[in-house]
Amino acid sequence: MANGYIQKETSTCWIARIEHYRNGKRRYVSKAFATEKEAKEHLQNQQSAKNNGEFVEPSKVTLTVLFDEWLDTIRPRVTPRTADGYQCLLDRYVRPELGSRRVNQLETRDIQKLYASMQSQKSLGARIVRHTHAVLRQVLEQAVEWKLILRNPADSLKRKLPKVSEAERRVLDETEAGAFLKACNEKPNGLIFEFALLSGMRPEEYLALQWRDLNFERNTAQVRRALVRHKKVWRFQEPKTKGSKRTVTIPASLSRKLAIHKRVQAEQRLKIGKEWEAHDLVFCSEFGTPLSIPNLTYRYFRPILEKAKLPQIRLYDLRHSHATLLLAADEHLKVVSERLGHSTIRLTADTYSHVLEGMQQATASKLEDMLYGT
């Protein structure tokens, strides 16, 4: 049994002290209670935790200090863009509310109040709340490993997070997709967005696509790299996950359009001459340089949506539209998952659960027609 004792200070103050060693030196951790009973219960709990290897020494480390130390350790392991994204979420939403709080005093309800405030007072969507939670949970998990806290107070909140509504993930249905493709044929750079819808690739994947990745005989496109921009500097990097490296079959009509696009681009390259930057990109600027997603969105994508009289959606929503259209057409979930480059089928099922629910209803109707007749 670990050493400790109870000491009476006044008639309404009892001190519970637990002995422990740090760096070879004996120390005492003390806490005051209003009654002797409370002090004894605390001492017993602390002794039990220490005997089980679960004792955590109280610390004055605040969340702000923890955030900075965690970011220093995470930066070498992720891309600069990812690390900056983590920091942005913490700086914008968590530090102002909880930054001054000691790590060992943070409770689950504090985090719940933060998320509620983000939604009610700041009118933020479920997606931002979930992203913030994912980062904060990683930080607090590190605090557990560093023995600043015994348990992660964010762990129990996973099932209580707000769900992302369909309104936040607006996709094109079959009729809208047809109107969109028609508008793509009539607007500059429309082929990029047609490819995005029909391939289901991520923007950073098809903007990194090179001509050697295309096979015009088999009508396929290989995902081998991703285009990443960070502080006005671009580079190629490995795709998002191991499963992201994949071969995607595309419609023959799209393949023929790409072949024509290749000839047009070759003519442009000869016209530009020495000013052309040879990166072998399928989709690039008039000088051969990689395209910027924001510039592509505002200058070309949104005008196409307006031409087709469609609501303003994100460029990434073409990927969601691709998956939704395939699932609605009864394509096998595994095939859709492989086309998207998801790490697991479960991820695909969770992401498009609203579509799968609709398919369940359709399946029930088919069974009724088959077995009962109409």
Residue 128 makes CB contacts below 8 A (sequence gap 6+) with 89, 93, 118
Q: 371 is written with which tokens?
A: 């077995």
- The answer, as to whether pTM is greater than 0.75, is no
| Cα distance between residue 308 and residue 302, in whole Å | 10
Q: What is the pLDDT of residues 165-179, one digit of tens each?
A: 766 678 899 999 999
Residues 141 and 17 both lie in one domain: no
Are 213 and 222 a contacting pair, CB within 8 Å? yes
Q: What is the pLDDT of residue 365?
A: 62
Which residue range(s) make up the domain with 36? Answer: 4-51
Residue 316 lies in a domain: yes
Span between the terminal Cα atoms of the chain, in Å:
75
Residues 191 and 315 both lie in one domain: yes
Residues 225 and 183 both lie in one domain: yes
Query: 222: which strand partners?
Result: 247
Ramachandran sector of residue 209 (left: φ over 0; alpha: ψ -120 to 50; beta: rest): beta
Are 228 and 79 a contacting pair, CB within 8 Å? yes
Helices (H), the chain: 36-51, 63-74, 80-89, 95-98, 108-120, 126-145, 174-184, 190-199, 203-206, 252-272, 293-296, 302-307, 317-328, 333-340, 345-351, 353-371
**Structural domain total, the chain:** 3
- Give the CATH number, domain containing residue 324: 1.10.443.10
Rounded to 5 degrees, what are φ and ψ at 289?
A: -85, 155
Residues 208 and 315 both lie in one domain: yes
Q: What is the pLDDT of residue 269?
A: 93
Q: What is the pLDDT of residue 1?
A: 39
Q: What is the pLDDT of residue 360?
A: 59
Residue 350 lies in a domain: no
Residues 140 and 237 both lie in one domain: no
Residues 200 and 320 both lie in one domain: yes
Residues 156 and 233 both lie in one domain: no
**Per-residue model confidence as pLDDT tens for the chain (374 residues):** 357 888 888 888 888 887 766 556 677 777 788 888 888 887 887 777 777 666 666 678 899 999 999 999 999 988 888 888 999 999 999 999 999 999 988 999 999 999 999 998 888 888 899 999 999 999 999 998 888 888 899 998 988 898 877 666 788 999 999 999 999 999 999 999 999 999 999 999 999 999 999 999 999 999 999 998 877 788 898 887 778 899 999 999 999 999 999 999 999 999 999 999 999 999 999 999 999 999 999 999 999 999 999 999 999 999 999 999 998 888 888 999 999 988 888 888 877 776 666 555 666 666 667 677 65
Query: 25: which strand partners?
Result: 22
Residue 360 lies in a domain: no
Q: What is the DSSP letter of 68?
A: H
| SS3 label, residue 301 | helix
Residues 312 and 187 both lie in one domain: yes
Residue 313 lies in a domain: yes
